[in-house]
Amino acid sequence: NAGVMQNPRHLVRRRGQEARLRCSPMKGHSHVYWYRQLPEEGLKFMVYLQKENIIDESGMPKERFSAEFPKEGPSILRIQQVVRGDSAAYFCASSPPTGGTGELFFGEGSRLTVL
Amino acid sequence: GDSVTQMEGPVTLSEEAFLTINCTYTATGYPSLFWYVQYPGEGLQLLLKATKADDKGSNKGFEATYRKETTSFHLEKGSVQVSDSAVYFCALSAGGNTGKLIFGQGTTLQVKP
């Protein structure tokens, strides 16, 4: 499967724990985006990364959230000290280096539940 | 700031009925416009797009026309099928970093046999 791969698909955490969500972009894609979908809402942009660089993090909460896309390995979205309001579906998307068309290729999402 | 507004759902139709899902936007400049579809348990897939005024995007029988004068991008299909049941999202990209999309809240479509 050459699509965007996210794991885990489902993650349950208790308040105060850490959540780590992983995303491997499509082969040949070097741009990664993270979006959050709260229940009954549309997707909200969080962060845009290229290899080893954060390009735009204007949608990231100021505290507890961080993202990286290392030279080797998947992109990671990390949420520290989770709270109930972090319960959501987190979608990763990728696009090729040339960009331009605006088409994003989405993974199936990671659904975080905070107890 | 830029925003997208979609008609509220759920929309329930019988098979072969005509579908319209309204989408209007607010943006500075000249955004590209998109419709994405999300089937149950899956990620979003691009359904169609339009990059400039009066463009018509089309795919799988769905169409949408970029109307600058009414700032709209309504999704239509002449005859829906049960397999079209999904959540439909309208989105815009304001240019530059085109991966930063602004989504509407989504409209759930249920098609009954």
**Single-letter residue type at B102:** I
For A32-73, how does the pLDDT look when each residue is reduced to its tens digit (9 = 90+)?
A: 999 999 887 789 999 999 989 999 999 999 999 999 999 999
What mean pLDDT is reported for chain A?
91
pLDDT over 90 (residue B8): no
Cα gap B98→A18, rounded to integer Å: 31
pLDDT over 80 (residue A101): no
B-chain residue closest to A108, CA distance: B43
Instruction: Give the residue with greater pLDDT, B22 vs B29.
Output: B22
Contact call for A45 and B100, based on CB within 8 A? yes
For B83-108, how does the pLDDT look when each residue is reduced to its tens digit (9 = 90+)?
A: 999 999 999 986 666 678 999 999 99
Token reading at B105: 């809240």
pLDDT over 80 (residue B73): yes
Does A104 lie at the interface with B, CB-CB under 8 angstroms? Answer: yes
Contact call for A106 and B32, based on CB within 8 A? no
pLDDT over 80 (residue A10): yes
For B42-55, how does the pLDDT look when each residue is reduced to its tens digit (9 = 90+)?
A: 889 999 999 989 99
Query: Which chain A residues are closer than 8 Å to B86 by Cβ?
Result: none
Query: Which chain B residues are closer than 8 Å to A100 by Cβ?
Result: 98
Q: What is the DSSP string of B9-69?
A: S-EEEETT--EEE-EEEE-SS--EEEEEEE-TTS-EEEEEEE-STT-EEEETTEEEE-BTT
Contact call for A104 and B100, based on CB within 8 A? no
Q: Which of B26, B14, B21 is nearest to B36 (CA)?
A: B21
Q: Nearest CA to CA, how far is B40 from chain A (Å)?
A: 10
Token reading at A103: 């088409």
Token look-up 């960009």 returns A99
Query: Which chain B residues are closer than 8 Å to A93 by Cβ?
Result: 43-44, 99
Contact call for B99 and A33, based on CB within 8 A? yes
